[in-house]
């Protein structure tokens, strides 16, 4: 059944690379990848591909590299790295109604504003393609997998403060707001949130399990999965966890009702 489904994966970074590999291992054969970022030696330490992919000649684009590795590892896979002139989500999909081409869309972009825009467009266009968003929290304290667009009773925006507010806060966060976690490495192309490859693999595993269940029709309502990790490193560095983290038991936290009565998208 998975062989007949077409999946779009947005973001081929530390989580997305493991998700792509996991999906192929489970029998997904039709996978489109979209990422406009290049792999470099500065960010291979937590990436599925590793340094060999950077040493090889040819394109260093993450989607290209992952495609090449996966078609060598697995037989009968059809993987498209969407090698357009512009590879960002806005250029490829916001100008055309391509969402309905897929049975599932997974975002490992780690960009809340962009994910919310995607969710809004799916909701307003009455497209019924399920949308999964996955990301890590800093310093190994957890990760989240949000399944949305299964019904119209709620949406991704329900888990965030309203777009018009001064701060875009995630209501399921394990850290207190108004803290900065981004770091820059010398020579690195951009800022990153500190977490390990193990954190990315953990989130990728839960994301892949959720994706399979969505494709099998086992989920009927929008929901969120959150895994709780250790806060030792985060606390040692002077950061603070949220009340939600403190009140969450170890393991996997599942909320089947993410509806918010003040959502600016689905409550209008």
Mean pLDDT (the chain) is: 86
CA proximity to 122, closest of 92, 158, 156 = 156
Domain layout of the chain by residue ranges: 2-255
Q: Using pLDDT thresholds of 50, 70 and 90, give the confidence band for residue 98.
A: confident
In terms of DSSP H, where are the helices of the chain? 16-25, 52-55, 62-73, 89-93, 112-124, 197-215, 232-236, 243-246
Q: Determine the topology of domain 2-255 in CATH.
A: Rossmann fold (3.40.50)
Per-residue pLDDT reduced to its tens digit, 148-203 = 999 999 999 999 975 444 456 899 999 998 898 876 433 334 445 687 889 999 99
Out of 197-201, 225-229, 238-242, least confident range = 197-201
CA dist 31 → 23, 67, 227 (Å): 9, 9, 26
């Amino acid at each position: 059944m998975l062989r007949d489904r077409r999946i779009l994966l947005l973001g081929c970074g530390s989580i997305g690379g493991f998700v792509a590999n996991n999906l192929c291992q489970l029998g997904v054969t039709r996978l489109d990848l979209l990422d406009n970022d290049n792999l470099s030696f500065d960010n291979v330490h937590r990436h599925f591909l590793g340094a060999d992919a950077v040493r090889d000649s040819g394109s260093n684009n993450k989607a290209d590299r992952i495609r090449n590795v996966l078609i060598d590892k697995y037989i009968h896979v059809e993987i498209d790295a969407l090698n357009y002139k512009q590879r960002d989500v806005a250029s490829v999909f916001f100008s055309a109604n391509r969402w309905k081409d897929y049975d599932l869309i997974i975002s490992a972009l780690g960009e809340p504003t962009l994910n919310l825009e995607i969710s809004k467009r799916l909701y307003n266009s009455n497209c019924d393609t399920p949308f999964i968003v996955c990301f890590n929290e800093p310093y190994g304290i957890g990760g989240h997998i949000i399944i949305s667009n299964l019904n119209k009773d709620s949406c991704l925006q329900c888990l965030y403060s309203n777009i018009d507010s001064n701060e875009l806060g995630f209501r399921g966060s394990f850290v207190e707001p108004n803290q900065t976690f981004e770091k820059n490495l010398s020579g690195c192309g951009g800022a990153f949130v500190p977490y390990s490859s193990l954190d990315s693999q953990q989130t990728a595993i839960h994301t892949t399990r959720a994706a399979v269940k969505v494709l099998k029709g086992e989920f009927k309502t929008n929901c969120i999965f959150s895994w709780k990790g250790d806060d030792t490193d985060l606390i040692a560095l002077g950061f603070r966890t949220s009340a939600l983290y403190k009140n969450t038991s170890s393991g996997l936290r599942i909320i089947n009702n993410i509806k918010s009565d003040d959502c600016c998208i689905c409550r209008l």
